[in-house]
Chains A and B, each alone.
Chain A
Amino acid sequence: MNRRTKSFLAGVRAEFPLLVGVFPFGLIYGALALESGLSAAPAQMMSSIVFAGSSQFVAAQMIHQSAPGLIIVLTIAVVNMRHLLYSASIAPYIEHLPTRWKTLLAYLLVDEVYATTIIHYEEDGFTPTSHWFFLGAGLALWTTWQVGTALGIFLGTAIPASWPLDFALPLTFIAMVTPVLKDYPVVAAAVSAGAVALIAYSLPFKLGLILAALIGIFVGTYLENRKSAKETL
């Protein structure tokens, strides 16, 4: 097996545990999209055209409430604003790649793929084949999301509403964030972001999320600068 294949399969394997959380989330999305009045084709296609779970839920809800199209477009954009941060964060690691790779990998840069890939880059540094890891993780997630959506559309209301399947997603995020909390600037970033997210929860268009993220990043960076300033004295 050559190095590219190895790296690709390592990405698929690293993504696998997260898929256990993503798959039921795709199921619920598919079922909810139909309930919101979308027909099967646009419900399914939204999973590849928009390809961003939480914004698809919000969009489906807004379609149900017959919100104006332009407002839905803007809401999708605001809910997905965190992808700007992912893009900035992953960019230095794939800087050297040809444009066709960058355009493909950017499409796959959703929460769970970003989390897996950035951990891989931060721990193992980057090797000549590590973009194949990114691709493996991305395609594994993408395929799972499409299949989950399709099955959700197919099963529809046969999925009992009392099953708390939606909890699988916060659980995957807990599994990703907890092991990262190793030093106090990171813990402070997480805690302050969480606190702001609670306070700003009622802001429209999930703006509280992006505000909370920015404040968390600021707090972490500030504390780390202070820490390293002390260490160099």
Chain B
Amino acid sequence: MNIWLTMILGGLLTYGMRLSFIYLFGRFEIPEVIRRALRFVPPAVLSAIVIPELLMPSGTLDFSLGNHRLLAGAVAILVAAWTKNTLLTILVGMAALTIFQFVF
């Protein structure tokens, strides 16, 4: 398949999924249980992305001190919990990773 066609089909499917419920909402009654479940979408999806990035940076579980991403991630979580400041969290996290890579 041509590269452009591949991108256009992939893009259309992605857009279709983003539009899906936005388009359907109001046309159907959404059950109460689903409405309540939606509150858990951000923490569930974001953790499912982040946790493997921290614990399996090279594809296998790594709890050692040599896992710089885990250490820097832990620092970032503390900064985020304490300050609730996105910019600071990213900057301190990047600085921490750089320092850990340099030191260990």
Complex Cα distance A176/B55, Å? 19
Residues of B within 8 A of A17 (CB): 85-87, 90
9 pairs, CB–CB < 8 Å, chain A vs chain B: A20-B87, A81-B17, A82-B45, A87-B18, A88-B41, A106-B19, A212-B47, A213-B41, A221-B40
- The reply to whether B42 and A180 contact each other, CB–CB distance below 8 Å, is yes
Could you tell me the distance in whole angstroms from the C-beta of A60 to the nearest C-beta in chain B?
A: 11
Query: Contact residues of A with B, CB < 8 Å?
Result: 16-18, 20-21, 38, 42, 45-46, 49-52, 54-55, 59, 63, 68-70, 72-73, 76-77, 80-92, 94-95, 102-103, 105-107, 109, 111, 114-115, 118, 164, 167-168, 170-181, 185-187, 189-198, 201, 208-209, 212-218, 220-221, 224-225
CB interface residues, B 56-87, toward A, < 8 Å:
56, 59, 61, 69, 72-73, 76-77, 80-81, 84-87
The minimal Cβ–Cβ distance linking A59 to chain B, given in whole angstroms, is 7
Known: A174-B50, A179-B84. Contact between A55 and B90, CB under 8 A? no
User: Could you say which of B5, B9, B43, B84 has the most chain A C-beta atoms within 10 Å of its C-beta?
Assistant: B43
Binary A-proximity of B2-28 (CB < 8 A = 1, otherwise 0) = 111111111101110111111111100
